[in-house]
Amino acid sequence: MRALLEDAASRAIAYLEGLDARNVAPAPEAIAKLACLDQPLPAESSAPQRTLTLLDDMCSSATLAMAGARFFGFVIGGSLPVALAANWLAGAWDQNTAYYNVTPATAYLEQIALRWMLELFQLPHACAGAFVTGATMANFSALAAARHALLKRSGWNVEADGLFGAPPMTVIVGSEAHPALIKALGLLGLGRKRTIVVPTDSQGRMRADALPALSGLTLVCTQAGNVNTGAFDPIAEICERAHDADAWVHVDGAFGLWAMAVPAMEHATAGMAAADSWATDFHKWLNVPYNSGLALVRDATALRATMAVTADYLPTASSFRNPSDFTPELSRRARGVEVWAALQTLGRSGVVDLVERTCCHAQRFAEGFRAAGYTVLNDVALNQVLVTFGDAATTGRVIAAIQSEGSCWCGGTVWQGQTAMRISVSSWATTDDDVERALAAMLRIAHTCR
């Protein structure tokens, strides 16, 4: 066992150390080689060492260097070394973190990580939290609590009786709501299309003046951090209006919620703490391994009423927090360990620095594009940059050429009818030098593509 695990660790370390020198995108030949794995199910057992070697030989070079310093796709960064190390140790512990009495160490770490998150975001100490797989499930969990609470006010028990015959809820979203939030509404029986869609402005912010009439049966889904522009809905204003009507305000802040940790970003985050629930990711801006996200709900009893289960064989009685009282999952890995390790190591100042540094890098990209005569489509207020290199076909060609050249990796999007390249700076590993290197490559490639 020792030889196998040490070999895995040294292969993993070699992989990470090699990222800087390799192309960010995998070579087509490396991807083609994956087909060799298409073998019949082995009839007989074989040596574990052989399996590990096969995995490394066939797959490491076919990975996209998402863990590296010059990956700017989606809104994700590489794992902090300490978060990866904690993940390895917690993997060895193999704790099914559902109940405090059974897995005290990992359940307790989660409880502490939750408290630290509430302190970091300056949210009420009594909020409930669920450590889930990502923002999709964080939105799902928080919206499930909202559904519970709103229907309960009308005397309806949605967990017991479902939505058949329930008083109708009004669900409001911005036209730029993330598709994962819309999907969560569908999973909850609230309907992907049964929403009132509020128009958004040039940055993708919900127009508060266009909100319809609200009531105590209304759920308003806001967003902090548009996946393309990074823009925030006017959440303070929406909360004020919604709370006058007793409506519930949810914030999808998969990455944008992290701005709440940054004093210098107070102008953007002011009033967000007045919402009723929030969803965020750890595997985006906190740079911990996938899959890791957090749902926060002000009305702790609502989340618990939605998620807790009991059965005679389950050790639910505890004066400590049982993680599974708050999550859709029962059995699950101890994902709070990595969150704790990242927060323990970074501290408040490290989190602030990570967010501010990546936002500065985004500013530098925008400046570099503008200086070269290209159009930046968004107000770069966070870590997202949208740039066009001309018409849709040209921009598409530039994106493809940047991806295959391999100095860095960026994805594409269509923003309000215009094809654009997205640059998301989300990794702890990105340095000033990486930004200059990537920018130089992007500009050189854009120039030759035009």
Ligand X SMILES: *Cc1c(COP(=O)(O)O)cnc(C)c1O
Q: Which residues in this chain contact ligand X in the complex, by CB under 6 A? A: 75, 134-136, 178, 180-181, 223, 225, 227, 252, 254-255, 281, 293
Among 229, 347, 364, CA closest to 286 = 347
Closest approach, Cβ 427 to ligand X, in A, equals: 15
Q: Which residues pair with 206 in a beta bridge?
A: 200
Continuous H helices in 324-372: 336-371
**115-120, Cβ contacts within 8 angstroms, sequence gap of 24 or more:** 116/340, 116/343, 117/294, 117/296, 117/339, 117/343, 118/296, 120/260, 120/261, 120/343, 120/348, 120/351
Nearer Cβ to ligand X (61/426): 426
Q: Which is nearer to ligand X, 190 or 254 (CB)?
A: 254
Q: Which of 418, 359, 408, 355 is nearest to 386 (CA)?
A: 418
Which of 77/225 has CB closer to ligand X? 225
221 vs 376, which CB is nearer to ligand X?
221
Shortest distance, position 445 Cβ to ligand X, whole Å: 27
**Of 283 and 321, which CB lies nearer to ligand X in the complex structure?**
283
Measured from each CB, the residue nearest to ligand X is 134
User: Residue 181 or 342: which CB sits closer to ligand X?
Assistant: 181
b (16+ CB within 10 A) / e for 261-290: bbeebeebbeebbbbbbbbbbbbbbbbbbb
* Count of alpha carbons within 13 angstroms of residue 395, beta-carbon side: 22
How far apart, in whole angstroms, are the C-alpha atoms of residue 55 and residue 11? 10
Q: Rounded distance, CA 297 to CA 139, Å?
A: 11
| Minimum separation from the CB atom of position 383 to ligand X (A) | 11
Cα separation, 272 vs 257, whole angstroms: 9
Q: CB of residue 196 vs ligand X: minimum separation in angstroms?
A: 19
Q: How far is the CB of 178 from ligand X (least distance, A)?
A: 3
Distance separating alpha carbons of residues 246 and 239, to the nearest angstrom:
10
Helix (H), strand (E) counts: the chain: 14, 11
Q: Is 388 helix (H, G, I), strand (E, B) or coil?
A: strand
Supply the Cα-derived Rg of the chain in whole angstroms.
23
The Cα 22–Cα 9 span in angstroms is: 20
Question: In angstroms, what is the minimal distance from the CB of 135 to ligand X?
Answer: 3
Under 8 Å between Cβ of 109 and 367: no
Give the shortest CB-230-to-ligand X separation in angstroms.
10
**Closer residue to ligand X, CB minimum distance, 227 or 439:** 227
Least distance (Å) between residue 229 CB and ligand X: 11
Q: How far is the CB of 180 from ligand X (least distance, A)?
A: 4
CB of 255 to ligand X, least distance (A): 5
Question: In whole angstroms, how far apart are CA 37 and each of 26, 155, 437?
Answer: 17, 56, 35
- What span, in angstroms and rounded, lies between the C-alpha atoms of 182 and 202? 21
Closest approach of ligand X to the CB of residue 192, in Å:
14
Cβ nearer to ligand X, comparing 279 with 446: 279
Regarding beta strands 170-174 and 196-198, do their DSSP bridges make them parallel or antiparallel, or are they unpaired? parallel
Question: Quick one: 139 or 170, whose CB is closer to ligand X?
Answer: 139
Give, for 227, the enclosing helix (H) or strand (E).
none
